[in-house]
Amino acid sequence: MTATTSTSFLAEPPTRPARDSFWTRIAAELAEAIGSGVYPPGQRLPSEHALAEQFGVNRHTIRRSLASLCSQGLVRITQGSGTYVEDFAVDLALGKRVRHQQGLAQAGLRGSLVVLQEQTVRATAALAKALQVPARSPLLALRVIGQAEGQPLHVSERYFPLPRFEGLAAVVRETGSITAGFSAHGVADYTRRESRITAELPDAAVAAELRQPATRPVLLVESLNVDLEGTPVEWARAWFAGDRVKLTVSHDE
């Protein structure tokens, strides 16, 4: 009996370049260039047209490669401006006293809070319990973005009891500081009573404000601040860009 060999298992298939291999190879080469410092932090990458000519592919392939790098947190794509190497990860401490500008200053960076939206809302049951006010009491609601060197680090929703903090938004708009707003309303000092940290995917609005893909997770921090008498002054929900921020929980005063 003559043995037969099945060519379907042993024969080499014809070699031809897979289309998917082009964009993955280009993404890998660009990632290596970023890691070796060819493109340093903060630098703008060559245009899609220039990269397409460099690698001998079409712009659609380049876009796919850049989207892959973006999802890995290596670059950020700014509409109408270009693609930039992510340039820093800020280490922010979540301790008893949390101050945005002070935390950035310790990292050698300048930053501020920018008020995106201001409105008066009624306290939900959960907010009323946290802020120790009657349900449906009026609250000042601010949507704020925290920046460092022009880079968005976090976007937050913040709630303050009214009428105690009437006019606080105007101070924050002028100074870029919640602390300054509290000081203008007689709160010389305040502390963090609790912080709860989870990871989640951002909604479209948060992703757009943080200038990141909606497929990249963010760190959600829910917190409660109180004055020196222990009275709640602020409840906040903040979404931090996970690739730009490290959160360190400090147990010191």
pLDDT > 70: percent of the chain? 86
Give this prediction's pTM.
Answer: 0.69
Per-residue pLDDT of 105-139, as tens digits, reads 666 667 889 999 999 999 999 999 999 999 999 99
Closest among 130, 47, 40, 51 to 86, alpha carbons compared: 40
Q: Which string of DSSP letters, residue by residue, matches 102-161?
A: HHHHHTT--EEEEEEEEEEEEPPHHHHHHHT--TT-EEEEEEEEEEETTEEEEEEEEEEE
- By the 10 Å C-beta count (0-12 exposed, 13-18 middle, 19+ buried), 45 is classed as buried
Q: Using CA atoms, how far apart are residues 100 and 225, in angstroms rounded to an integer?
A: 14
Structure confidence at residue 244 as a pLDDT band (50, 70, 90): confident
Per-residue pLDDT of 160-176, as tens digits, reads 999 999 999 999 999 99
Report domain extents, the chain: 19-85, 90-249
- Is pLDDT of 104 > 80? no
Exposure on the CB side of residue 240, measured as CA atoms within 13 A: 24
Q: By mean pLDDT, which of 8-17, 88-97, 100-109 is the weakest? A: 8-17
- Is pLDDT of 16 > 70? no
Per-residue pLDDT of 175-214, as tens digits, reads 999 999 999 999 999 999 989 999 999 999 999 999 888 8
Q: Using CA atoms, how far apart are residues 30 and 62, in angstroms rounded to an integer?
A: 11
For the structural domain made of 90-249, what CATH number should be given? Answer: 3.40.1410.10
The overall average pLDDT reported for the chain is 85
Provide the CATH topology of domain 19-85: Arc Repressor Mutant, subunit A (1.10.10)
Structure confidence at residue 91 as a pLDDT band (50, 70, 90): confident
What's the pLDDT score for residue 197?
94
What's the pLDDT score for residue 87?
66
